[in-house]
Structure 1
Amino acid sequence: MNLRNILKLPPILEVKNVLCVQPHPDDNEIGAGGFLSILKEKGAKITFVTVTDGRKGLPTREITHDEIVKIRDAEKRKAGEILGVTEFIDLGFEDGGNYTIDSLIEKLVRTFRTVKPELVLTVDGWAPYEAHPDHEKTGKGVTAAILAARNLSLPHLGEPFSVPQIAFYATPYPNTYIDITNYWENKIEAIKAHTSQFDNPNWPFIYEFFYEQAKEWYKEGLVKGKLKSEKNTLNEEGLAEAFKVLSIWELHMFPNAIFS
């Protein structure tokens, strides 16, 4: 069953207003930089919401955490410019901090009701081996906030708004694959804008991992018949990003969502 088809929701390549919620300042680029490059080219409004300040992102005592926050904020904005981000929203939680999902939900509900996105993009909080608390809290918090934003709960945070669909990246359960072959270099440029994270001896390995993963996703999407492209024809080989796309109706009391 494909509820998105039944509900006549637009394919994610056709949305005009997307809100991207990332745990740390570089996650959107890694998970969806190619897809966002396509939306930029099509003139979509792209909003970046960053949950934490990234202060734990450098294993050094030579500079303070506050200085790291400033560095990562500048890198985030440089990367966002490459991807056509039109607005940056920082929720200000401490990287690796003790904030709760409930505190995250409250801030996200206000954001969803204000921005009114056609699509929310975020990490998959249910990935089986995801060990980073910020990623789990972000993925699950975003999903819960989507449900809360559509009803009369939290009335002090604005009028209810129903987000039609959500797309998870870094997911083990993809149902949508986007051909990013022609946008790969733009994705990599955005990732490399985070010099504090990637300008180091590990970059060749990291790049190879990203590249091989994108090749595998392309083949997987092609075999499953779920590879979407802006091109009229698909080549046998290419590069892709993978997402789990669900309608809002699949986020509660819908046990088949894992198979959607």
Structure 2
Amino acid sequence: MKRRDFISQTLAGGALASGSRGVGPHEAGAGREVGFTPRGQLVIEHAAPGKPHAGKVLAAIQPHVDDVPLFAGGTVAKLIKEGYTGHLIRITNDEMAGAGTTGEAVLHNERDNDAVAKALRLEKVFNLEYRNHRLDSAPLQDLRGRLIFLFRLLKVDTVLCYDPWGLYEENPDHYVTAKMVEAACWMAGMDKDYPEHFAAGLQPHSVSEKYYFARGPQMVNRVVDISATVDQKVEANLANVTQGPAGENGARLRARLAAQKKRLPGLGNDDATANRQYIKEIVLDVDSEHLRGVPSDRELGRRYGLEWAEAFHYIGPTASKLEEYISQHAVSL
């Protein structure tokens, strides 16, 4: 049995099924917000009415141009819809992915990245331009320091990124990015790390919430309802025409089938429809395990009574109980 399959089967009967044991999963959103549970109880995060996150800032962080769209595009769109201001940080230059020369791949992926940000309504785009597939040999303190600077500059409250604690990940760009983001989140709040930032007018600023996604097995404690934003997730994946399983692959499949005198009715009658339907029905659902390495967004949602969903290892702030304890137990001198 392959290591990845063994881990998947083990978690299927354990951590990933935590919401089905004992009491049912907690409900979050729509007036039923549930705080971070460090013991990992599963929380279902629903769409919230209005703009409850107005004034908050998120950073969607990806090693490559297609990572956030594939694994967290629906949640990013949901949080922006609920009031967040969002920014996109891409770690590598994606030089190894796409047709043509290396230079052409860099240019085309940068254009795709801008289109992803536009589709997800993200305001600023930062391309850090580290070498693709070589992040494990890059100066990691340099990367961490740049992330700390951006977290302070943008006053980031929430990050969405690869899970540093995911149990299977073969790509060094993914796991190095995850580890550096995790460290930068708390170091950005320290007053002795990079004091030159303060001379430039910045202030210590910790990141308090993390939505970590993975391309394989992980400890899942939050499932986000993306039913209202799945079409926006499709648009973000449509932007990745240079690399990845989405982009214009629907039109390519339609052409291949036509050459064989076949068609899939679900792909529609034109290339634009084929591309969108291929992403929604094939990439995010029917062939998700093969193309993305994760279960179908539709099947995940169905498990919890939702139409579409994304899964995360969520880490958030914990409230101090000290003042409550003092009020209950303090006595007069």
TM over 0.5: yes
Find the counterpart in structure 1 of residue 220 from structure 2. 174
> Which has the higher Rg, Structure 1 or Structure 2?
2
Find the counterpart in structure 2 of residue 34 from structure 1. 74
Deviations 1:54-100 (A, max 9, x none): 11112x4xx22122111111111112111101110111111112314
Find the counterpart in structure 2 of residue 244 from structure 1. 313
Q: Is the 8 A contact 1:54 1:69 kept in 2?
A: yes
Find the counterpart in structure 2 of residue 185 from structure 1. 231
Give the CA deviation at 1:3: 6.9
Deviations 1:137-188 (A, max 9, x none): 0111100111211112221234321111211012611111111112212101
Structure-2-length-normalised TM-score: 0.62
Unaligned runs of 5+ residues in structure 1 are: 223-235, 250-260
Give the CA deviation at 1:40: 2.9
Find the counterpart in structure 2 of residue 209 from structure 1. 287
Deviations 1:98-154 (A, max 9, x none): 314322101101011111112111111222220000000011110011121111222
Matches within 5 A, 1:1-260: 4=36, 14-15=52-53, 16-58=56-98, 60=99, 63-97=100-134, 98-151=137-190, 152-158=192-198, 159-170=203-214, 172-197=218-243, 198=246, 199-200=248-249, 204=278, 205-207=282-284, 208-210=286-288, 213-220=296-303, 222=304, 236-247=305-316
One-letter amino acid of the counterpart of residue 135, structure 1: H
Give the CA deviation at 1:36: 1.7
Q: Is the 8 A contact 1:166 1:248 kept in 2?
A: no
Deviations 1:13-59 (A, max 9, x none): 6433111111111211111111122223234211001100111112x
Identity %: 25
Once residues 35 and 308 of structure 2 are traced to their aligned partners in structure 1, the CA distance between those partners, rounded to angstroms, is 27
Deviations 1:183-218 (A, max 9, x none): 212101110111112323578553433496212322
Sort the Cα spacing of 1:55 and 1:176 in 2 relative to 1 into closer, same or farther, 3 A. same
One-letter amino acid of the counterpart of residue 59, structure 2: L
Once residues 80 and 49 of structure 1 are traced to their aligned partners in structure 2, the CA distance between those partners, rounded to angstroms, is 10
Structure-1-length-normalised TM-score: 0.78
Once residues 23 and 248 of structure 1 are traced to their aligned partners in structure 2, the CA distance between those partners, rounded to angstroms, is 25
Sort the Cα spacing of 1:138 and 1:248 in 2 relative to 1 into closer, same or farther, 3 A. farther
SS of 1:40's equivalent in the other structure is helix
Once residues 176 and 89 of structure 2 are traced to their aligned partners in structure 1, the CA distance between those partners, rounded to angstroms, is 14
Q: Which runs of 4+ in 1 moved over 4 A?
A: 11-14, 201-205
Q: Which has the higher contact order (CA 8 A, sep 6+)?
A: 1
Q: Is the 8 A contact 1:150 1:160 kept in 2?
A: yes
Q: Is the 8 A contact 1:147 1:248 kept in 2?
A: no
Once residues 111 and 76 of structure 1 are traced to their aligned partners in structure 2, the CA distance between those partners, rounded to angstroms, is 18
SS of 1:182's equivalent in the other structure is coil
SS of 1:153's equivalent in the other structure is coil
Once residues 248 and 106 of structure 1 are traced to their aligned partners in structure 2, the CA distance between those partners, rounded to angstroms, is 23
Q: Is the 8 A contact 2:221 2:313 kept in 1?
A: yes
Q: Is the 8 A contact 1:55 1:69 kept in 2?
A: yes
